[in-house]
Amino acid sequence: MLINTATDLQDAPSSAEHTAFLTNLLNDFIIFDDAPYPEGYDRALVEGDVGYIAPVIRTEWNAGAAAPWGYNNREAIEAALA
């Protein structure tokens, strides 16, 4: 199955490929490190090294990847998968 547009996705019959496509959109997260690193921080430092700053990890669902396919939230994708 070839899915190039939101219309293709809407018109696609239920299939393993269709489910996989929606599942990929649902599970697409972006990972951010919000730690306040100073300019010139040596990112090669590891825990236990002098000057090491622990990462502050935050994940967000990638709404920008789902929007072109007609989905504005994860709940809409979950409903399409149900």
**Which residue is it, tokens 């393993």?**
16
Residue-wise pLDDT for 9-65, tens only, equals: 888 878 888 899 999 999 999 999 999 999 999 999 999 999 999 999 999 999 999
Q: Residue 31 and residue 19: Cα distance in Å, rounded?
A: 24
pLDDT number for residue 14:
82
pLDDT of 68 over the 70 cut: yes
Coil, helix or strand at residue 40: coil
Nearest to 55 by CA among 41, 66, 71, 40: 41
Number of Cβ within a 10 Å radius of residue 49: 10
Contact 15, 1 (CB under 8 A): yes
pLDDT number for residue 78:
96
**Segments making up each domain of the chain, as ranges:** 21-35+50-82
pLDDT number for residue 1:
63
pLDDT number for residue 57:
98
